[in-house]
Chains A and B, each alone.
Chain A
Amino acid sequence: MSTLQVSVYRYNPESDDAPWMQDFEIDTQGRDLMVLNVLQMIKEQDSSLVYRASCREGVCGSDGMNMNGKNGLSCVTPLSEVVKDNRLVLRPLPGLPVIRDLIIDMSLFYKQYERIQPYLQNDERPPSIERLQSPEDRDKLDGLYECILCACCSTSCPSFWWNPDKFVGPAGLLQAYRFLADSRDTHTQERLSELDDPFSVFRCRGIMNCVNVCPKGLNPTRAIGKIREMLVRNTA
């Protein structure tokens, strides 16, 4: 049986009053394609279906979507990993407004990212060569800097669903910690004092949905725990 039943979320505000699900039958010829390949095959049947995609190898973070109920990148998700009973249901990432079909409006997600000042801040004059950093200090950035801003984590987080305007969310907090952990950054105090309100960090209830879906295998919950620890130490 090589015909896959695919059901895709459709919504074009120009022509649709409400979102609807469209069914397609796709002949995979028994190959274990990536979900993105299936979308490309569907688009050849119906060019009006829209989705984002760029690098098609899991490093640009364009094609986050909800596949059979779980967030992930369509380009690195093989059918064998998600398809159950020969059926694939594709929806946009949950919790943010849909622009059209599988494309969501990520403004709030980016706004939370910008809020944590995602750039190195160091008030000392840089040397004429690079700033030195020991391999041990550099190791502290592993598991943090690799984030691709695909939003799979933040849009799987109920705390982000309820307060996307106030809770930074796992992606933003992972980056917040990336700069807190960087031995070259001197703005630790300022960064912490921007985060010690009841929403920005503390809305995380540690349910680890973010860890469960991260396509890069990163662990935002652990980073959030570290931030909380720094905040508590800073106060107590």
Chain B
Amino acid sequence: MTQLRTLTFDAIIIGGGGSGLRAALQLAQSGKQTAVLSKVFPTRSHTVSAQGGITCAIGSADPNDDWRWHMYDTVKGSDYIGDQDAIEYMCNEGPKAVFELEHMGLPFSRFDNGRIYQRPFGGQSKDYGKGGQAARTCAAADRTGHALLHTLYQNNLKNNTVFLNEWYAVDLVRNANNDVVGVIAICMETGETVLIKSKATVLATGGAGRIYASTTNALINTGDGIGMALRAGFPVQDMEMWQFHPTGIYGAGTLVTEGCRGEGGYLINKDGERFMERYAPNAKDLAGRDVVARSMVLEVLEGRGCGENGDHVMLKLDHLGEDVLMKRLPGIVELSRTFAHVDPVKEPIPVVPTCHYMMGGIPTNVNGQALTVDADGNDRVINGLFACGEAACVSVHGSNRLGGNSLLDLVVFGRAAGMHIEETLNQGIEYMEASQSDIDAAMKRLNRWNESGSGETVPELKRDLQTIMQNNFGVFRKEDNMQEGVKKLDDLRARIANAWLPDKSDMFNTARIEALELDNLMEVAEATAIAALERRESRGAHSREDYPDRDDDNWLKHSIYHPADKTLSKRDVNFSPKTVDTFQPKIRTY
């Protein structure tokens, strides 16, 4: 086996989205040799598609706003399996992180007094749910993700971060002690395979919405970090928790921000009824996303859906007037015209719940250190491995993320991971070098594809995977249906293991990348399926027809999926915030 070219950095960050760039910025500012490895040019990462905003108690719309209220909402939104120490950290550090973004130049929309514009979003309240709807989501029109990602990229340029753009990470390299000491990566332009050595490997690879046939996620959201972690034998947490966003454009799957409802839009069924008034009398259309998505599906199932097939509902915006729409939601107007052939200034937009966000991921602490669970059920830090953003499960979102909390999660925990890595590097760490056999192990699946001679091809296998997930692990889930799904996935895994890569060329071979992505989709899908089957209750985004109630006695827990034997165990949720009292689980209504 030929020797690979080796690159060495203090820290390698895999993923050029919001969390990766925020972590990179922290490290670049501290003078550490930092590289961001991204399979697309960083501003093409999926953070760019985030629309509505970044939720944070900066006290602009309401000077009395309090981060503890935000914390309460987030804990409640998570259906009480969000870790309260992490949520406390995020909500408390949030304002600092948002002001930093503004100082970096993020073009937030403004109120007349010059402060950052904030809009109402789902699940937001004042005074611990007692003070009515809050407006806590800081926005740059409806292009907040775009503005945030470009700002972070720009500031990384300013701080001379090294970028390995259009490089693809294949697998983690572990030494004999199971410490992560680097990653195998492909430079896509030349096809060269390179060993990247680093004392800190950060998985900031984002979500994996592409396991579903209908998703708001970018084509690149294939769960590469989750796949790498699972193949390295590390566990993942709460993978059954997938958020279905209430308003994906019917047919196209593109996202229509919750900010539409925050600005005063609402959902109607075929009778023109504002049906959310029945399901959530107080918050109405601004209830938690899981609640709204389920209500929409129920409307359709009960025969009140719109359109020829009665399979969607409508989002009404025209009453807001053209001025508000063009000022606050210009991107939505553009997307509706392009993908729904509907002008929201005049008519409602056809929408349907669409896979949107992975609440689960690689379990980490608030410092971004990846965790595994030892035989006795105790958390143990994985040396050298970090995760942040959607790929990580800190867990601040529990079983249902609130709108606007993902962008906050990215910057707060990207920053935290960066700060912690800086500190660790300053203290000095040494891990044992990887041996040739360690490197060969990480090269295994790339070699498998490169040597494949015949078999099924990637597009059909991917389609089958997405169909299984869509049909068997959607908004409503049922034991027998999921069992069938798990079995089908098992067959699919065997088929993928024998699949064929016809194009073996080196230069910018996107077919090879898609094949490697398929492996990751498979890992994520299976973890999701098994976790969903095993969690026998309904909580947050996980709704089971056969177990319709929340079961706090047995399941006020994180689920941990172990890839080695494909089993699920439970992990305690943190109920010990440092500066506030614990929020005790209550019945969750909006």
**Which residues of A approach B to under 8 Å, CB–CB?**
12-15, 43-44, 47-48, 50-62, 76, 78, 99-101, 103, 106, 110, 114, 117-120, 122, 126, 128-135, 138, 141-142, 145-146, 148-149, 179, 182, 184-185
Contacts and interface: CB of A to CB of B under 8 A. Distances in A.
Contacts, number: 151
Interface string B68-88: 000000000000000000000
A118 B102 CA distance: 15
Contact of B103 (A44, A48, A100, A130): A130
Nearest to B191: A14
A59 B48 contact: yes
Residue in B105, B146, B147 with the greatest tally of chain A CB atoms within 10 Å: B105
Contacts of B459: 43-44, 47
Given A52-B40, A76-B338, A135 B49 contact: no
Contact of B219 (A14, A54, A99, A145): A54
Contact of A133 (B99, B110, B154, B252): B110
Contacts of B108: 130, 138
Interface string B37-72: 000110111101100000000100000000000000
Contacts of A55: 44, 46, 48-49, 218-219
A12 B44 contact: no
29 contacts: A43-B511, A44-B459, A47-B503, A48-B503, A53-B219, A54-B219, A56-B218, A57-B255, A57-B339, A59-B143, A60-B49, A62-B40, A62-B41, A99-B189, A99-B508, A103-B508, A106-B41, A118-B157, A119-B151, A120-B105, A130-B98, A130-B116, A135-B111, A141-B107, A145-B140, A145-B147, A146-B143, A148-B146, A182-B107
B37 to A, nearest CB: 16
A53 B41 CA distance: 11
B152 to A, nearest CB: 10
Nearest to A119: B154
B103 A14 contact: no
Given A55-B44, A57-B49, A59-B48, A50 B103 contact: no
A128 B44 contact: no
B588 interface: no
B265 interface: no
Contacts of A58: 334-335, 338
Interface string B483-519: 0000000000000000000110111111100000000
A207 to B, nearest CB: 26
Contact of A114 (B150, B157, B218): B157
Contacts of A120: 103-105, 154
A200 to B, nearest CB: 18
B254 interface: yes
A13 B219 contact: no
B115 A119 contact: no
Contacts of A60: 40, 43-46, 48-49, 218
Contact of B110 (A44, A53, A134, A179): A134
B187 to A, nearest CB: 12
Residue in A15, A62, A114 with the greatest tally of chain B CB atoms within 10 Å: A62
A148 to B, nearest CB: 7
Contacts of B41: 62, 106, 110, 149
Interface string B96-125: 001100111101111111111000000000
